[in-house]
Amino acid sequence: MKKLQAIKCWIFDLDNTLYSGKTRVFEQVDKKMSKYISEKLNVNIVEAKEIQKNYFYEYNTTLNGMINNHKIDADEFLEFVHDVDIDFLKKDSLLNEELMKLDGKKIIFTNSSKKHAMNVIRKIGIDQHFDDIFDIVDSEFVPKPDIVSYKKLVKKHKIDPKLCVFIEDIARNLKPAYEMGMKTIWIENDEPWARKFSDSDFINYKTNNLPEFLKQINLLKVANEF
């Protein structure tokens, strides 16, 4: 963890990273995507789910599959699928405290929309900490784990990847970050699609509790100052 002392830029994924996957927020988004496909392509929900799964694997996001094959309107899709109930999300005071203590730039890097990200981080009470939300529109609809989007982010913020850490629940999304010289932290979870490749060398650290992990980094920083 000592290596993280030099970090100048903290890049966070949003869904199932800044809040726990146990909250089932993303499950709602997932269901809305099935519903969107079902209505748009006039197929039943079972067929829609199958299409959704195939697009996710082939194009990295359902949205990209829909754009490429059905020329849908991206804004309409993003608006529809992120219209979910997040009222039950609670303030995360430990995460808030530890983000405050972290030195350096903080950026959210997500395959979802800025609006969804803002809704979530306001609800958790951590919105004041972030310098930017780099969303799927900023990526010009080239989603993670395509290295093109990571390079766009780095270029926009004029940051040295070697001074960055990237934190994500989908293990394979950490690979391009590592290849560019970033440190990587995987958020441990039980989703088969997110766990895939989680034993790879491109993962530097693992944690099942992000606020606690950041707390340890901050404590180490204080200890080193003496």
Interface stretch with Mg ion, choices 40-48, 99-107, 152-160, 164-172 (CB under 5 A): 164-172
Minimum distance of Mg ion from residue 15's CB (angstroms)? 4
Distance CA 193, CA 134 (A): 23
Is residue 64 close enough to count as binding Mg ion by CB under 5 A? no
> Is residue 135 involved in binding Mg ion (CB under 5 A)?
no
Q: Which of 11, 12, 15, 149 binds Mg ion (CB under 5 A)?
A: 15
Q: What is the dihedral of CA 191, 186, 94, 92, to 10 degrees?
A: -40
- For residue 29, give the 3-state DSSP assignment: helix
CB nearer to Mg ion: give 15 or 98: 15
| Complex with Mg ion: residue 38 or 135, whichever CB lies closer | 135
Q: How far is CA 142 from CA 15, 26, 59, 103, 137, in A?
A: 18, 20, 9, 30, 9
Cβ 186 to Mg ion shortest distance, Å: 11
* Closer of 38 and 108 to Mg ion (Cβ): 108
- Segment 183 to 212, residues that bind Mg ion, using CB under 5 A: none
* b/e per residue 74-95 (b: at least 16 CB within 10 A): eeebbebbbebebeebeebeeb
- Judged by CB, which is closer to Mg ion: 39, or 191? 191
E-strand ranges in 57-212 read 105-109, 132-134, 164-168, 183-187, 205-207
Q: Does 169 bind Mg ion (CB under 5 A)?
A: yes
Q: How far is the CB of 94 from Mg ion (least distance, A)?
A: 20
Alpha helices (H) along 125-208: 147-157, 174-179, 192-195
Among 10, 12, 16, 60, binds Mg ion (CB under 5 A): 16
Binding stretches for Mg ion (CB under 5 A)? 13, 15-16, 169
